[in-house]
Amino acid sequence: MTNSFHPPVRTLMGPGPSDVNPRILEALSRPTIGHLDPAFIEMMDETKALLQFAFQTSNALTLPVSAPGSAGMETVFTNLLERGDKVIICQNGVFGARMKENVERCGAEAIMVEDQWGCTIDVDKAERALRDNPDAKALAFVHAETSTGARSDAEVLCGLAAKYDCLSIVDAVTSLGGIELKVDDWGVDAIYSGTQKCLSCVPGLSPVSFSDRAAEVIRNRKTKVQSWFLDLNLVMGYWGSETKRSYHHTAPVNSLYALHESLVILEEEGLENAWRRHALNYQAFAAGIEALGLSFVVDEEFRLPQLNAVSFPASVDDARVRSALLNDYNLEIGAGLGALAGSVWRIGLMGFASNKKNVLFCLSALSNVLSDCGMETDSAKAIAAAQSIYCN
Ligand SMILES: *Cc1c(COP(=O)(O)O)cnc(C)c1O
């Protein structure tokens, strides 16, 4: 006989999933109803309005794709691109490379503009690429690179795309709910996010939003979207408000309760307050990390408050530290990814997990583990440095 699965209770301070608010887990366990039940449809309408609020947009084409962030990425590229199109991709980490994969699998051409990992996207290089490729259809980039902890200037990049008559495509999987994001003010044409990062919801859904201009491009395609499941022209038969809703696929009913609850929580807190909370907890954490003698990969100006890439001395055993944190403290932090594997940790302070208790807990656990591994650390000094930020 196989027993029921009972996961250990962890504190999730990696690159996602982040700690889920208990209110969201409770919402998830409410009774399942039909995905065309009038009560459910009412909740869908509220979810759409809440997503418009979270993205700061009035875009009619705003909905959660029934699959994780990667599917949101795929939805954007497969719906906007046709064979032979050209897309400029600014890459400064792992997720930009996935954009390239998506573009090429659509039969389109990816023009890569590469920046160093850990750096923000160079807007001058992006502009040069736009000038050199007047036939490009879109400019795509990652707002918050989770592989490095670097923030890029989405407002300026979207402005450049518009200036050169290109669509702007923004990966906001890690930015939504954690840092300033204003889809309409910034003129974003297509954006996708995820539920398991700063929304602190369960993994498995991907909010997306398209400007009217981008929606027009999708409606006027010459060829069918090659993915039946992600074809928004079909999905809109279920999520659209103009038509009577009809079956496309069975919506993940309970996961949508969870998303609804996470957005209600965000609305209660207020977007600006959520951004401020992420910034404050980052500042306290950074003060503590520096007091421990560790350093950041990204220049202060471009750091993401919700994802900290922390470098450690070569003498420190990466895997031993992470497994000691997990086994002895039930604390998950992330390993380095891609070019940064083995030389950094990625420590998330996302959504519900971005709080004072986690900041102080992580600093003291990390300090203890590092001193067990032979590094000289002063846990009291790190805690005091973090505390001093909260007392300001
Ligand atoms: C996590 C992440 C994704 C992928 O989201 P999944 O939900 O894991 O599919 C895409 N882009 C960025 C920047 C991410 O951090």
Averaged pLDDT of the chain? 96
Dihedrals phi, psi of 380, to nearest 5 degrees: -65, -40
Residue of 173, 192, 205, 350 with the most ligand 1 atoms within 8 Å of its CB, for mutation: 173
| Calpha distance 336→334 (Å, rounded) | 7
Per-residue pLDDT of 168-197, as tens digits, reads: 999 999 999 999 999 999 999 999 999 999
Name the pLDDT band for 87 (thresholds 50, 70, 90): very high
Q: What is the pLDDT of residues 220-266, one digit of tens each?
A: 999 999 999 999 999 988 888 666 788 899 999 999 999 999 999 99
> Could you give the percent of the chain with pLDDT greater than 70?
99
The domain spans of the chain are 21-268, 271-391
Cβ(16) – ligand 1 distance below 6 Å:
yes
Tell which residue, 85, 95, 57, has the closest CA to residue 190.
57
Ligand 1 in reach of 69 Cβ (< 6 A): yes
pLDDT tens track for 317-357: 999 999 999 999 999 999 999 888 999 999 999 999 999 99
Please tell me the residue having the least CA distance from ligand 1 atom 12: 173
Asked whether the domain spanning 271-391 has the same topology as the one spanning 21-268, the reply is no
SS (H, E, C) 200-234: CCCCCCEEEEECHHHHHHHHCCCCCCCCCCCCHHH
List the residue whose alpha carbon is closest to atom 15 of ligand 1.
Answer: 146
Provide the CATH topology of domain 21-268. Aspartate Aminotransferase; domain 2 (3.40.640)
Q: How many CB atoms lie within 10 A of CB 173?
A: 27
What whole-number distance in Å separates Cα of residue 338 and Cα of residue 118? 12
Domain boundaries 271-391, corresponding CATH code: 3.90.1150.10
The neighbouring-strand residues paired with 245 are none
**Which residues in 302-334 are b (16+ Cβ under 10 Å) and which e?**
bbbbbbbbbbbeeebebeebbebbeeebebbbb
